[in-house]
A and B are shown apart, each in its own frame.
Chain A
């Protein structure tokens, strides 16, 4: 279990990074936190021609919480985002979900943007980004483009990042007033990839009635599955029923397809109940 050979660069500016990535084309692979990539290298399941290590780009290690959004730079570690009080108050779902990402030591090194670009179907942050309708900013020597989450995740471990591009930041919209959110997942061991998980948001109208209910699911398909569950009118049981009907599940060594479908209902109920309570608490507060 030793990585295969690869070329290596550690650019000291974004411009240099983009130049290197541009010259490498499909051979180039960005190394950020490495918590997903390096295991794949060690197992020789990945063999990139050249790694472009962005850990010297300290300028990308930001978390900016503004009025309407949280912007997370490519070098912000999970732990940093999780601890960011401003980000937590602008979009509480970030911290709620990040607490479930692996174990603290992994979060010390792993980056939130890297985790999103990795597009693991079991990733908490991909589901969060998909649910909140966030976007990813990609830069290359040709310029920049911004890809919305619903077009970013193409499949299992497949995201819309082109050769020569660097994902410089993700933008996560703020949680609106009179809205609540929650994250829940079920894993075999604490800190493992979830067998099934869900992030949910509930928006209330000014009279306190349910305006909109949405949920995103992880570990149930090649990419995050986002459902509009507004027709449940916020009733967790009915939402669970809807979700279970709409989501196709498959079996693996940890769960049969039926068990996973059952868990879709469980996490829907739990996430929705908590999100509703969260929304009411915020509306009252």
Chain B
């Protein structure tokens, strides 16, 4: 029973602490290495929010539909509510807190959301920002149709998406201007 395989069972890469039954894992989040002990069932979203206190990643449904909890796992967007923290052991994770530059300058995607009124209550916003950041890295010059596709798996209840799509195109424009 209980959390965590014991020595006999073996837990492979993740190290089980024999006294607590917790797993000692290492996550590099926004460039900072964190060592944290979690039960096997700890969701990555909860680990980020409550263990590491990076509360910018939001939880809107905990069944993988809304996308508010989207983070970048080794650069790839994933739902952090559908991952066990222990499964992410050894990974590099980018959350919304890691999108701005070290000097605090907002990223192109963040600025575009501000310019375009792409957010209202702001709860779904972190998931859109991480998702779009990864999508624009792959396709820096999306058509309006592609921009809509990029945000097609995230729910927003406030904006009606109009200004979010505008923000995707604006972010692409800002990025191109910066590179030029």
Contacts of B9 in A (CB 8 A): 7, 9, 20, 23, 50
Interface assignment of A154: CB less than 8 Å from any CB of chain B: no
Interface assignment of A142: CB less than 8 Å from any CB of chain B: no
Interface assignment of B76: CB less than 8 Å from any CB of chain A: yes
Contacts of B104 in A (CB 8 A): none
What residue in chain B is nearest A51 (Cβ atoms)? B40
B13 touches A5 (CB 8 A): no
Contacts of B87 in A (CB 8 A): 10, 31, 34, 53, 55
B63 touches A8 (CB 8 A): no
B3 touches A108 (CB 8 A): no
Contact bitstring A83-119, B, C-beta under 8 A = 1, else 0: 0000000000000000000111110110000000000
Q: When the two chains form the complex, which single residue of A8, A38, A42 contacts B5, counting CB atoms closer than 8 Å?
A: A8
Interface assignment of A191: CB less than 8 Å from any CB of chain B: yes
A39 touches B4 (CB 8 A): no
Among B81, B84, B152, residue most surrounded by chain A Cβ atoms (within 10 Å):
B84
B82 touches A109 (CB 8 A): yes
Contact bitstring B18-46, A, C-beta under 8 A = 1, else 0: 00000100000000000000011101001
Contacts of A35 in B (CB 8 A): 64, 79, 82
A34 touches B82 (CB 8 A): yes
Interface assignment of B77: CB less than 8 Å from any CB of chain A: yes
Interface assignment of A41: CB less than 8 Å from any CB of chain B: yes
Interface assignment of B119: CB less than 8 Å from any CB of chain A: no
A108 touches B64 (CB 8 A): no
B78 touches A7 (CB 8 A): no
A7 touches B152 (CB 8 A): no
Expressed in whole angstroms, the Cα–Cα distance for A138 and B5 within the complex equals: 24
A103 touches B82 (CB 8 A): no
Expressed in whole angstroms, the Cα–Cα distance for A262 and B5 within the complex equals: 51
B83 touches A109 (CB 8 A): yes
Looking at the assembled complex, report how far the CB atom of B138 sits from the nearest CB atom of chain A, in whole angstroms: 10
Given contacts A31-B84, A106-B64, contact A7 B4 (CB under 8 A): yes
Contacts of B79 in A (CB 8 A): 35, 105-106, 109
Given contacts A8-B86, A10-B13, A190-B152, contact A2 B41 (CB under 8 A): yes
A108 touches B77 (CB 8 A): yes
Looking at the assembled complex, report how far the CB atom of A52 sits from the nearest CB atom of chain B, in whole angstroms: 9
Q: When the two chains form the complex, which single residue of A5, A51, A102 contacts B39, counting CB atoms closer than 8 Å?
A: A5
B12 touches A9 (CB 8 A): yes
* CB proximity to A under 8 Å, residues B139-165: 152-153
B70 touches A105 (CB 8 A): yes
Contacts of B82 in A (CB 8 A): 34-35, 38-39, 106, 109
Interface assignment of B102: CB less than 8 Å from any CB of chain A: no
Contacts of A42 in B (CB 8 A): 43, 62-63, 81
Contacts of A9 in B (CB 8 A): 5, 9-12
Expressed in whole angstroms, the Cα–Cα distance for A198 and B82 within the complex equals: 28
Contacts of A34 in B (CB 8 A): 82-84, 87
Looking at the assembled complex, report how far the CB atom of B43 sits from the nearest CB atom of chain A, in whole angstroms: 7
Among A5, A8, A106, residue most surrounded by chain B Cβ atoms (within 10 Å):
A8
Footprint of A on B, CB under 8 Å? Answer: 1-5, 9-14, 23, 39-41, 43, 46, 62-64, 67, 70, 73, 76-79, 81-84, 86-87, 89, 131, 152-153
Q: Can you offer 15 A-B residue contacts whose CB atoms are under 8 A?
A: A2-B43, A7-B5, A8-B11, A8-B41, A9-B5, A9-B12, A10-B14, A12-B13, A16-B12, A34-B83, A42-B62, A51-B84, A104-B153, A105-B131, A109-B79
3 smallest CB-CB distances across A and B, nearest first, come from A103-B153, A8-B40, A10-B12
